A and B are shown apart, each in its own frame.
Chain A
Amino acid sequence: MRFKKPLYYVLAAVLAVLIGLGIGYWTFGRQREVTDSGALVLHPPKPLPAFGLEADTRSPFTLASLHGHWSFLYFGYTHCPDVCPTTLADLGKMSTQLADLPAASRPTVYFISVDPKRDTPGVLARYLRYFNADFVGVSGAPDQLQLLTHALGVSFSYDPPDQSDNYSVEHSSVVFLINPEAEEAAVFTSPIVPLRMADDYRIILTQHGDR
């Protein structure tokens, strides 16, 4: 009997560790999963609030516009010379990688302007089509823009203008993936590697289908 007591302790310790691992997995492991490209996959996906913006096609861009298909959202502004064109060019390459998917599974890329004063629908339409014929520009009233940016944790602020009244906008560099239920499904941080982002998208698409 004297030998059995330590055995119980060991068993209890192992059990405690296992329970701890289980709790840890349920509380932390299930919330976030990081893929190869550095994408953060949200489990469960996060619903988005209602908002009212305008697409560069002059049609309304609302929460309903995100229903029924996959979307990538990138926040930026057309006067941004470095990161925005770099990211849009990379998203263009990513889209090309996914050209073999059936049309219903292919994502739509939305560029949402954090500088609606300068980025009118006309400006955005010409700018976005340069990168990809299917990219869509979005702008609108600042209060409506904030409904969406707050929900996604996107922040932006305006730098003081220079002598020629040019100003830059500090903004989030991440790209969001929205699922067909209009929920935030994943977050991709920059720099974007188009091939890996396309691979991750396929994985997320398959997992979504298995749900």
Chain B
Amino acid sequence: MPNRLKFLWLILLLLTGVAYAQGPSVSASHVWIREAPPGVDTLAAYLTLTNHTGETLTLSNVSSTDFNSVTVHRTLQNNGMDSMVAVPHLSIPAHQSVKLAPGGYHLMLMQPIKPLYDGDLVMLTFTFSDHSSLSIMAPVRRDAPQS
């Protein structure tokens, strides 16, 4: 093996080590997806995202192998009226958490590939503005977990 290639391998290993030691930029907790009632093909997912870095991160993309479309939405209440708005760039401030919970922020999961029921697991992949990504398994639940 030429010396130059050996050197490149060394650099690559070093970078992997650095990336591993740094840990994930963002972690997820309290993850669940509300099971859809019969005839409904839009589901909502809830979770808490925690930013472990010292800079504000933006959620740039969410995808799932089980849905054709995943977007961030927010339910807003104004004078007793509920409306939903798309949130294309959800910000997570440095060392803080953002809660996606019923009646507020949520992931809108549309066009499921197959029907999903209580107990099923769905993989969700998040990509952030620092190019880091996070993949989690979200359980489908009929009832909201006790918080």
Query: Which residues from chain A sit less than 8 Å from chain B, CB to CB?
Result: 78-79, 81-83, 85-86, 89, 123, 126-127, 130-131, 155, 159, 164, 166, 168, 170-174, 189-191
State the Cβ distance, B8 to closest chain A Cβ, in Å: 45
In contact, B37 and A130 (Cβ under 8 angstroms): yes
Bound complex: CA A81 to CA B44 (Å): 6
For chains A and B in complex, what number of residue pairs have CB atoms within 8 angstroms? Answer: 75
Bound complex: CA A117 to CA B137 (Å): 35
Interface assignment of B77: CB less than 8 Å from any CB of chain A: yes
Interface assignment of B42: CB less than 8 Å from any CB of chain A: yes
Residues of B within 8 A of A155 (CB): 81
Query: Which residues from chain B sit less than 8 Å from chain A, CB to CB?
Result: 34, 37-40, 42-44, 69, 73, 75, 77, 80-84, 102-103, 106, 108-111, 143-144
Chain B residue at smallest Cβ distance from A93: B143
Knowing A89-B143, A164-B110, A170-B83, say if A127 contacts B73 (CB, 8 Å).
no
In contact, B39 and A82 (Cβ under 8 angstroms): no
Knowing A123-B39, A127-B38, A172-B81, say if A82 contacts B144 (CB, 8 Å).
no
Bound complex: CA A82 to CA B84 (Å): 9
In contact, B102 and A126 (Cβ under 8 angstroms): no
Knowing A155-B81, A172-B81, A191-B103, say if A85 contacts B37 (CB, 8 Å).
yes
In contact, B44 and A82 (Cβ under 8 angstroms): yes
State the Cβ distance, B128 to closest chain A Cβ, in Å: 23
Bound complex: CA A189 to CA B37 (Å): 24
Knowing A89-B143, A166-B110, A170-B81, say if A83 contacts B39 (CB, 8 Å).
no
10 A-B pairs, CB-CB below 8 angstroms? A78-B40, A82-B44, A82-B84, A89-B143, A127-B37, A127-B39, A164-B69, A168-B83, A171-B81, A191-B103
Closest 9 A/B residue pairs (Cβ): A170-B83, A130-B37, A126-B38, A81-B44, A86-B102, A173-B82, A81-B42, A168-B84, A82-B44
State the Cβ distance, B40 to closest chain A Cβ, in Å: 6
In contact, A126 and B83 (Cβ under 8 angstroms): no
Instruction: Out of A78, A82, A89, A166, name the residue touching B73 (CB < 8 Å).
Output: A82
Residues of A within 8 A of B110 (CB): 164, 166
Residues of A within 8 A of B34 (CB): 81, 85-86
Residues of B within 8 A of A168 (CB): 83-84
State the Cβ distance, A121 to closest chain B Cβ, in Å: 12
In contact, B80 and A82 (Cβ under 8 angstroms): no
Knowing A155-B81, A164-B110, say if A82 contacts B40 (CB, 8 Å).
no
Bound complex: CA A83 to CA B74 (Å): 11
State the Cβ distance, A173 to closest chain B Cβ, in Å: 4
Residues of A within 8 A of B75 (CB): 82-83
In contact, A173 and B38 (Cβ under 8 angstroms): no
Bound complex: CA A85 to CA B84 (Å): 14
Chain B residue at smallest Cβ distance from A128: B37
Bound complex: CA A191 to CA B69 (Å): 28
Knowing A81-B44, A82-B106, A83-B103, say if A164 contacts B39 (CB, 8 Å).
no
